[in-house]
Amino acid sequence: MTVTIDQVRSAAAALDGSVALTPVVEAPKLAQMTGAAQVWLKLENLQHSGSFKARGALNRILALNTAERQVGVIAMSAGNHAQGVALHCARLGIPATVVMPRFTPLTKVQRTRAHGATVVLVGETLAEAQQHAHILAAEQRLIFIHPYDDPLIIAGQGTVGLELAQQVTDADDVIIPIGGGGLAAGMAIALHDAPTPPRLTGVQSASFPTLVRQPVADTSPSPQTLAEGIAVKYPGSLTKPIIDQHFDDVFAVNDTAIEQAIVWLMEEQKIVAEGAGAAPLALLMTQSARFAGRKVVLVISGGNIDNRVMASILMRGLVRAGRLARLRIEISDAPGMLARATSLIAEHGGNILEVYHQRLFQDVPVKSAELDVVVEATDTSHVEAMLGALRQAGFPARRLGSMASLPE
């Protein structure tokens, strides 16, 4: 069984008015930074449910007959398919149950429940969640809606490609995140029909490199990844052949690259992207030679990232950039020494955020103390200037928790 361009066009007609036609924005700073001729971002994070998944989910739901709508549906998902199913089922008055792995970010669980779906948290992987979903479907006679390996789902996701072909007519490359492959397969079918088909490149998490064609040296021994939206153990039986046929290559990126891409999108483009949504940018940054001088579209597939995770990523980004640093300063345990050390930092433009004055619990001489100071700086060289001033004034000082200490 395969999916045709006519099925994608039929899906576009069925979804018209019920899903957002998401914009494409140009990112000239990113083009300059990576050496690409032009870079555009296809913003599926602005879809009604926060990701492209709402397209395929609705296309499948619309195919239900009256009896199936009355019984209800069940899906398994790490969050985005869940929200798409829950959103449209609520709108159409169809009961929905969603089985989600336990690692699913809380924000995705809450939003799925907010749409009225019954959420069941089971398993540590999507595969385990899927097994449980099939058990519940058989017990309760619910209609199972697969997140990617279904012709109607693939056709629905392909509508992203139809839109893109009209929005950017001269793209050389399109970079698409791949988990189970529904988006990649659907877009491949749509873009293959374009007057000048672009080169398609897939990107996966290094923890789940199921379609990567070259050995991945930095595969994580843990099945955990920041890009839970593409944390899929096996590609779809329908999607894999389409991707194999139409994609020029598929690469993997690690979580560090994904983190940096999330930070860049937030700081430079004011765009909120989840891990899977930022993966195409992570690939462009790490494989810039492949796209040098070419016109590139990045599919920002979703923006449903947990607020706590986003806050942590942004703070880690500040540490990597040298804009936050923790300094350890040795001072004599005498009146005025703490004030003198902190004054030196202030005189050199450092903004002190936190101070820890250690007398008892560090391995220091009895008449000394260690001062741990978290400072805000402009960059790494600014931090080094503050350290130099402290040492020149007689305070032994060093930086703790540098960029090198963060996982790569």
CA–CA separation, 353 and 254 (whole Å): 31
Give the pLDDT confidence score for residue 307 in this predicted structure.
85
Averaged pLDDT for residues 171-193? 97
In whole angstroms, give the CA distance from residue 255 to residue 103: 16
- Using the predicted structure, report yes or no on whether residue 408 has a pLDDT greater than 60: no
CATH 3.40.50.1100 intervals, the chain: 1-306
Residue 90's pLDDT is 94
Measured between alpha carbons, how far is 86 from 276 in angstroms, rounded to an integer? Answer: 20
pLDDT digits (tens, 9 = 90+) for 32-50: 999 999 999 999 999 989 9
CA distances from residue 275 to 62, 298, 331 in whole angstroms, order as listed:
29, 14, 43
Question: Does residue 143 contact residue 75 with C-beta atoms inside 8 Å?
Answer: no
The per-residue pLDDT for range 191-223, each reduced to its tens digit, is 999 999 999 999 999 999 999 988 776 555 456
| Residue 365: pLDDT over 60 | no
SS3 content of the chain, % helix, strand, coil (to 5): 45, 20, 35
More confident site: 28 or 356: 28
Determine the residue type at 284. L
Query: Order of strands across the sheet with 118-121?
Result: 118-121, 96-100, 73-76, 143-145
The pLDDT of residue 362: 55
* Identity of the residue numbered 158: G
pLDDT at 295: 98
Chain centroid to CA 367: 50
pLDDT at 152: 98
Please give the pLDDT value at position 368.
Answer: 75
Span(s) in the chain for CATH 3.30.70.260: 321-405
* Residue 298 pLDDT: 98
Tens of pLDDT, residue by residue over 260-309, are: 999 999 999 999 999 999 999 999 999 999 999 999 999 999 999 988 88
DSSP state letters, 228-286: GGG--SS--TTHHHHHHHH-SEEEEE-HHHHHHHHHHHHHHH-----HHHHHHHHHHHH
Tokens of 202: 């897939």
pLDDT tens for each residue of 79-124? 889 999 999 999 999 999 999 988 887 878 888 999 999 999 998 8
Question: What is the chain's Cα-based Rg?
Answer: 25
Tokens of 192: 């293959």
Task: Specify the pLDDT at position 402.
Answer: 57
CATH superfamily of 321-405: ACT domain (3.30.70.260)
State the average pLDDT for the chain. 90
Is pLDDT at 407 greater than 60 in this prediction? no
Q: Which residue has the higher pLDDT, 248 or 309?
A: 248
CATH 3.40.50.300 fits 1-306, yes or no: no
pTM: 0.86
